[in-house]
Amino acid sequence: MNKIEPSFRPGGKLAKLESVYDGMETFLFTPNSTSKSGAHIHDGNDLKRTMITVVVALIPALLFGMYNIGYQHYLAIGEPSTGWFTMFLYGMLAMLPVIVVSYVVGLGIEFISAQIHHKEIQEGFLVTGILIPLIVPINTPLWMIAVATAFAVIFAKEVFGGTGMNIFNVALITRAFLFFAYPSRMSGDEAFVKVDSALGMGGGNVVDTFTGATPLGQVATSVGDPSMTSILGTPITITDAFIGLIPGSPGETSMIAILIGAAILLLTGIASWRIMCSVFVGGLGMAALAHALPSATYPASMLDPATQLCLGGFAFGAVFMATDPVTGARTKVGQYIYGLLIGVFAILIRVYNSGYPEGMMLAILLMNAFAPLIDHCVISSNIKRRARRAATKE
């Protein structure tokens, strides 16, 4: 590595790739640079480790998501007895292109941006790049993912100054962009279950009874008592939703996988338990309220609160998206308020806005916008307390 270094420094023939070189070098080797001012010793933790730990926490959801894609696929083509490994392989082949596109586009833009500003490449996209494949419907065309990722990285992140400076969660902006730019591809029968072959594997004809809509999508369009069925028309129970063998975005379906990730995030102390818990509390409260006042106009209000939380992207959002420290509230009191309101709004949108069967994305983005205001109010009380203290002294 050191041998090729000079050609990347200013004046070298590859100077335009200096940031890329630095990025690669610091990725492979933690630099041995020593402190110049201030504290002489430093904690071993850095942002790379922090981000990698989040990626590790996402792996259970990722693996399960791959399996579930295969499972839903073979269910849809009428071969439910296919072996689990084949299902997993199919799902992996289906997701791989999405992951590659997300990382190539996102990291490409990060590299270019870092080079323009002559800064080190920052590792924020490590997490975003894996979140995106987990929250977009599997049938989203790759070019759409590329466009949406590019849009999100440039306009939600780089224009604000890069990692740590963004106002909105970048992965959610990607999904929101897709959601509003190509609504027809983001919901309904065709979005969430991949029926054609993945990289040449597992093609077949769809069974007659096939309905590929997510449970929440079904609820939103149902009349009277909400009914949720699997691809084959059998009813979906809360257990199915908890295990996660239901149609949906790859990462969001399995409560179990998400809870494993949540445990990793909480044990390592990376995610704020204040936010995570209060999102669930807020969601549970709102769902209970809606359930107490059921209305045929709003079929989702008939779902019992526990099922509400297990369905859709609620849990995934609560664990991995709402807890994004950069876009969330940063004060302790603020984090309770922030999380609570995310939970409330997510269910509110789900139940009372029939246009959007899933409210989590919009709730988090909305609260991203309000997080600085919440913090401002919390800090104002600290400022007032200090001012009052000074005043009584005089």
Query: Which of 316, 304, 262 is closest to 131 using CA atoms?
Result: 316
> Binder to another protein among 17, 20, 24, 48 (CB under 8 A)?
48
Query: Mutual orientation of helices 47-76 and 255-267 as an angle, nearest 10°?
Result: 170
Residue 107 class from Cβ within 10 Å (0-12 exposed, 13-18 middle, 19+ buried)?
A: buried
Min CB(25)–another protein separation in Å: 8
Q: Does 38 bind another protein (CB under 8 A)?
A: yes
* Calpha distance 85→67 (Å, rounded): 8
* Residues of this chain, 326-365, that bind another protein according to CB under 8 A: 326, 328, 330-332, 335
Min CB(288)–another protein separation in Å: 29
Min CB(386)–another protein separation in Å: 6
Instruction: Indicate the residue among 275 and 360 with the shorter CB distance to another protein.
Output: 275
Instruction: Indicate the residue among 301 and 368 with the shorter CB distance to another protein.
Output: 368
Min CB(51)–another protein separation in Å: 9
Q: Does 43 bind another protein (CB under 8 A)?
A: yes
Q: 3-class SS at 295?
A: strand
Neighbouring residues of 32: CB distance < 8 A, sequence distance ≥ 6: none
Select from 47-55, 78-86, 94-102, 337-345 the region that touches another protein (CB under 8 A). Answer: 47-55
Q: Does 9 bind another protein (CB under 8 A)?
A: no
> Binder to another protein among 165, 181, 199, 263 (CB under 8 A)?
165
Q: Does 207 bind another protein (CB under 8 A)?
A: no
Q: Does 368 bind another protein (CB under 8 A)?
A: no
Beta carbons of 342 and 363 less than 8 angstroms apart? yes
Q: 232's torsion region: left (phi>0), alpha (psi -120 to 50) or beta?
A: alpha
For tokens 């490449």, name the residue: 121
Q: Does 35 bind another protein (CB under 8 A)?
A: yes
Q: Does 115 bind another protein (CB under 8 A)?
A: no
* Calpha distance 89→153 (Å, rounded): 30
Query: Which of 148, 143, 192, 191 is closest to 171 using CA atoms?
Result: 148
* Residues of this chain, 236-275, that bind another protein according to CB under 8 A: 267-270, 272
Q: What are phi and psi for residue 380, nearest 5 degrees?
A: -60, -35
User: How far is C-alpha 375 from the geometric centre of its chain's CA atoms?
Assistant: 23
What does the DSSP 8-state code read for residue 245?
Answer: -
Residues that bind another protein (CB under 8 A): 25-50, 52-53, 120, 122, 124, 161-165, 267-270, 272, 325-326, 328, 330-332, 335, 375, 379, 382-383, 385-387, 389-390, 393
